[in-house]
Amino acid sequence: MIFGFVQILLFQSLGELVSKFLLPNLPGPVIGLVLLVLWLVIRKGVNAELAMVADGFSQYLGLLFVPAAVGVVLFLPQLKANALAIIAALIGSVVLTIASSALVARLLSKRAAHE
């Protein structure tokens, strides 16, 4: 189990180093996760220790939503004051996403039909 935890910390540290010196716009943990996935693809599998640690972490992922919920409760007056703007932005972004996805799908299907 310790070996699996050390692997996770190693790849997160590598991600932080890459983020600090090469790609400052990307978060270190994201880079570390990509490096870990690439490592696992190269090794063609997940070892038992890493799988055990990942299973342990996944049982407590719900706790990560507690700070977000506290933030919503903390800023509830601001959210109420700007509710119309927030709802309009959410609806507008959903409509634009669906429309742009439909246009891309249509263009790709036309291209595939011509080929």
Sequence spans of domains, the chain:
1-59, 66-115
Average pLDDT over residues 17-27: 92
Q: How many CB atoms lie within 10 A of CB 59?
A: 8
pLDDT above 80 (res 48): yes
Alpha carbons within 13 A on the beta-carbon side of 95: 6
CB 77 within 8 A of CB 34: no
Tell me the CA distances in angstroms from 92 to 38, 108, 109, one per residue in order. Answer: 36, 24, 26
Q: Dihedral sign for Cα 91, 95, 101, 102, please.
A: positive
CB 12 within 8 A of CB 28: yes
Average pLDDT over residues 20-27: 91
Q: Dihedral sign for Cα 32, 34, 40, 42, please.
A: negative
- Tell me, what amino acid is at 28? G
Q: For residue range 62-102, what is the model confidence (pLDDT) as tens digits?
A: 887 888 888 888 999 999 999 999 999 999 999 999 999 99
Q: How many CB atoms lie within 10 A of CB 12?
A: 18
pTM for the full predicted model: 0.57
